[in-house]
Amino acid sequence: MTDTTAPLTTADGRPLKAALAAAQSRARRKAFFLVAPLLLFVVVTFIIPIGQMLQRSVYHDGFSKEALNLAAWFDANPEGTAPDEAAFAALAADLRQMKDNKSAGEAGTRINYTVPGTRSLFTSSARGADKLEPPFKEALLAQDKKWGDPLIWSAMRAASSPWTSDFYLIATDRARTADGGIEQVPEKERIYIWLFAKTFVLSALITGICLLLAFPIAHLLATLPMARANLLMILVLLPFWTSLLVRTTSWIVLLQGQGVVNNILVSLGLVSDDGRITMIYNQTGTIIVMTHILLPFMVLPLYSVMRTIKPSYARAARSLGATSWTTFRRIYLPQTLPGIGAGALLVFILAVGYYITPALVGGADGQLISNLIQFHMSKSNWSLAAALSGMLLLGVLLLYWLYDRLVGIDKLKLG
């Protein structure tokens, strides 16, 4: 070995690294052009919309673009300053502006998100804004004494900038106090955290049931001769190929009060005619139907992993003196872990974001977080919907990260 390690060069003296990069750049360019259409498609249809949606969760200019005078006053006076005459003057000016722009409703809606019941305050005050005379404080309080509520001033201060954390506060069941602090809402009004928890618990339950059901099926599929395994595989996949809506509604037919299952139970005398079991339009219905719909997502990864486990491992373990239970626990099960991990992750992520099935069969107590997101979308509170979605996305990414740390994404086998 020489003690000076000069960089290697090609025969004509060019550095080897540069020569290699030049030789490969053509191939790399070609590869990029081949990938470009998909890349563009993904950016336009996936990354941009998701980015925009997530931006909505922290950006809302409904109030801030109409209340410029108030924004100036909030800037000049620190948090906790009681609104003085100048503040009310700014408010009056802004209300006049809103009347001219016919935007009092929009601005009121933004404040209404954080302090419910305030939209009408803005619309009615804006209507009478032209008649306001100084001193504005007395005039406005005379019009509606709610204007003296420090909560509204705190909410307006928070909304005077388009960038806001208000929607994440709402999504985590918290609210601003009058002095600008943050507190949890009263227990009765806490719905989001609870619903998140319920969604995650139900998804975990569905994932668990899917695993219990899919494990034996996948094992059977993996050990049967090819021809029969294929036949069975069709039975697993057939529901997969049927429309989601059809599958969900056929469960309604089966499980409803006058449905097939109840009729059979009644005719067998297991259940009295007035004691028909409620299996649909509640949490039970959501669990049953979602388990059925998500089952193939558990079977397929498990099957693909189990097929690669040679029967000789089990035989070797048996010949070495292990009972069949020990063989399963210590030899077979550990080798199926990548499949269990992939299947569980897939089913859980799908379940957490499931919308249509709980919407159709969930009734009142079988609703998941996605149904609430949809509710806010339909009520045009897109920012709150976006904040809830953002939290859901964060939760799923967290799970994905955890899986990567514990099992390793490279071990993920989906088929």
Partner 1 sequence: MASETRSDDFVVFDHVQKSYDGVSLVVKDLNLNIGKGEFLTMLGPSGSGKTTCLMMLAGFETATHGEIRLDGRNINLVPPHKRGIGMVFQNYALFPHMTVGENLSFPLEVRGMGKDERETKIKRALDMVQMGAFANRRPAQLSGGQQQRIALARALVFDPALVLMDEPLGALDKQLREHMQFEIKHLHESLGITVVYVTHDQGEALTMSDRVAVFNDGRIQQLAPPADLYERPDNSFVAQFIGENNKLTGAVEELSGDKALVRLSTGELIDATPVNVTAKGQQTLVSIRPERVEFKPEMMPPGAHMIDATVLEIIYMGDILRARLRVAGHDDFVMKMRNTIGQTKLSPGQQIKIGWHPADARALDPM
Q: Which stretch binds partner 1 (CB under 8 A): 42-50, 225-233, 325-333, 374-382?
A: 325-333
| Interface region with partner 1, contact rule CB under 8 A, candidates 85-93, 285-293, 327-335, 373-381 | 327-335
Cβ neighbors of 336 (< 8 A, separation 6 or more) are 215, 302, 305, 306, 309
Options 210-218, 246-254, 285-293, 324-332: segment touching partner 1 (CB under 8 A): 324-332
Q: Count CB neighbours of 11 within 10 A.
A: 6
Q: In angstroms, give the least distance from the CB of 348 to partner 1.
A: 23
* Residue with the two structure tokens 């924004």: 71
Q: For residues 294-323, which are near partner 1 according to CB under 8 A?
A: 310, 312-313, 315-323
Alpha-carbon Rg for the chain, nearest whole angstrom, is 31
What's the min distance (Å) between Cβ of 227 and partner 1? 16
Restricted to residues 335-354, the positions that interact with partner 1 (CB under 8 A) are 335
Nearer to partner 1, 267 or 308 (CB): 308
Least distance from C-beta 328 to partner 1, angstroms?
13
Distance set, CA 384 to CA 36, 203, 370, 379, 387 (Å) = 34, 22, 12, 10, 5
- Three-state DSSP at 194 gives helix
User: From the list 330, 365, 397, 414, which residue makes contact with partner 1 (rule: CB under 8 A)?
Assistant: 330
334 binds partner 1 (CB under 8 A): yes
Residue 183 CB-density burial (10 A; 0-12 exposed, 13-18 middle, 19+ buried): exposed
How would you write 287-331 as a 3-class SS string?
A: HHHHHHHHHHHHHHHHHHHHCCCCHHHHHHHHHCCCCHHHHHHHH
| Residue 238 or 337 having the CB closest to partner 1 | 337
276 vs 411, beta carbon nearer partner 1: 411
Q: Which amino acid does the sequence have at 19?
A: A
Cα angle: 68, vertex 71, 76; to 5 degrees? 130
Q: Which is nearer to partner 1, 123 or 327 (CB)?
A: 327
- Nearest-approach distance from CB 318 to partner 1, in angstroms: 4
Output the smallest distance, CB 405 to partner 1, in A.
18
223 is an interface residue for partner 1 by CB under 8 A = no
Using CB under 8 A as the criterion, which residues of the chain lie in contact with partner 1 when the complex forms? 310, 312-313, 315-324, 326, 330-331, 334-335
